[in-house]
Structure 1
Amino acid sequence: MSLKFPLAPEPEFEASEKGRLLFAGPVEFLKGVVAMSGMPPADRIEVCFAGRSNVGKSSLINALTGRKTLARASNTPGRTQEINFFTLGEERYLVDLPGYGYAEAPVAIVAKWQALLKQYLSGRATLRRAFVLIDTRHGVKAVDEEIMKLLNRSAVTFQVVMTKSDKVNNATREANIAQVQAALAKHPAAYPEIIITSSEKGEGVETLRATIAGLV
């Protein structure tokens, strides 16, 4: 299984430079969306970030863009209640999805988020890849399996990005990478490379930038 879902290699210089230039350019918050009717025009390719509440999604988006407050980080799980669109240069959207699981919100609100998430994933033709964030400290949990199954059903290619790699020792890191690799074997929509990241240390940021820049 480890051969089927290897860790993404360091990008070649050309790919790395393409990613650096993309994220060094203009990145702006466009809008927060609470219903499909509010979606911006599907006139450019987009990538989205999905993750369990408190997985470090906002911190990773900030690290990618080099802007400390672009995505609001919060210690309160479930704080992000909208689908947030950011323009990435002239040709891409970067999309921050609501955190799923353990959200400190009323059941009806959570159900509304989940319905919007399903509509977005199944109805956005310009969506090129979903990045599913998994906490390196914990590996794949039941709520992560749910989002992966939804992506399978929606026929959206997804790639796992493991976050907070600097928060575990090597033994835990290796064990949880192996657990993620085994879990991905059950999901046909999974892209066959895992990106390991640390927002604090910068690990994997260059690789993720190059990956996004290479999508057409």
Structure 2
Amino acid sequence: MTMKFTLAPEPDDLTRERGRLLFAAPVEFLKGVVAMAGLPPADRVEICFAGRSNVGKSSLINALTGRKNLARASNTPGRTQEINYFTTTEGPYLVDLPGYGFAEAPVAVVEKWQRLLKAYLSGRVTLRRAFVLIDARHGVKAVDDEILTLLDRSAVTFQVVLTKVDKISKAEREKVIEQVAQALTKHPAAHPEIVVTSSEKGEGVATLRTIIATME
């Protein structure tokens, strides 16, 4: 049976408020991790953000938390080589993973952080969900498929978040949603709801906050 993929619904007032309150409370940078031994204690649920370089991860994390510079974007795509941990007040860890697919860095460095990424995804027992960011202007590419397959093999539920939807027309939006939904049919770890966002315009931010805040 093929899973049907749909857009995540708008939250109701009660759950929207839960999401607002979670991110209205302090969110702090905890640490950058370059090896599995450096991970903080697995004492709470965590969710992570993955995506190819320049997909808008830092912008989305800043929009979610309502803070301009909590997550810092590099001017050079692929420069973020650490797993960055952020703490929420009485909520999950937010984990910003290194961008994949393009990096202006030595091959050995790229390979090292790719190994770290794989080790984290397959070995972190408290990881509840991975949010995989896909640029709405491009849809799912082969390099995205690689990370989605890794998440399948690691048995980590992932949910696709389309970014930068303000950069495309309504017709293009419908087309890319269809392309993404089709690509996800071959990935058993995919969550059935796709979140559509624009960090610049704020679209979808409340929905994503609510999903995170209500995750068991």
| Normalised-by-shorter TM-score class | over 0.9
Q: 1:72 aligned to 2:98?
A: no
Q: What aligned pairs does 1:16-165 form with structure 2 within 5 A after superposition?
A: 16-165=16-165
SS at match of 1:102: coil
Identify the range of structure 1 (171-180 vs 154-163) with the bigger mean alpha-carbon deviation. Answer: 171-180
Q: Is the 8 A contact 2:22 2:91 kept in 1?
A: no
Unmatched runs of 5 consecutive residues or more in structure 1: none
> Which amino acid in 1 is paired with 2:156?
V
Q: Deviations over 1:22-53 (max 9, x none)?
A: 00001000000000000000000000000000
| Structure 1 residue 3, shift from structure 2 partner | 7.8
Q: Deviations over 1:110-158 (max 9, x none)?
A: 1111100111011111111000000000000011000000000000000
Q: What CA distance in whole angstroms lies between the structure 2 residues aligned with 1:143 and 1:71?
A: 23
> Which amino acid in 1 is paired with 2:189?
A
> Which amino acid in 2 is paired with 1:191?
H
Q: Is the 8 A contact 1:2 1:178 kept in 2?
A: no
> Which amino acid in 2 is paired with 1:161?
V
| Structure 1 residue 172, shift from structure 2 partner | 1.4
The aligned counterpart of 2:13 is: 13
Q: Is the 8 A contact 2:91 2:213 kept in 1?
A: no
Q: What RMSD over aligned residues (CA atoms) do the two structures have, in Å?
A: 1.3
Provide the aligned length of Structure 1 versus Structure 2. Answer: 216
Percent of paired sites with the same residue? 76
Change (3 A) 1:170 1:75: farther
| Structure 1 residue 2, shift from structure 2 partner | 11
Q: What CA distance in whole angstroms lies between the structure 2 residues aligned with 1:172 and 1:91?
A: 36
Q: 1:215 aligned to 2:215?
A: yes
Q: Is the 8 A contact 2:63 2:202 kept in 1?
A: yes
Unmatched runs of 5 consecutive residues or more in structure 2: none
Q: What CA distance in whole angstroms lies between the structure 2 residues aligned with 1:113 and 1:142?
A: 19
Q: What CA distance in whole angstroms lies between the structure 2 residues aligned with 1:72 and 1:208?
A: 20
Moved over 2 A (4+): none
Q: Is the 8 A contact 2:3 2:192 kept in 1?
A: no
Q: Deviations over 1:147-175 (max 9, x none)?
A: 00000000000000000000011121111
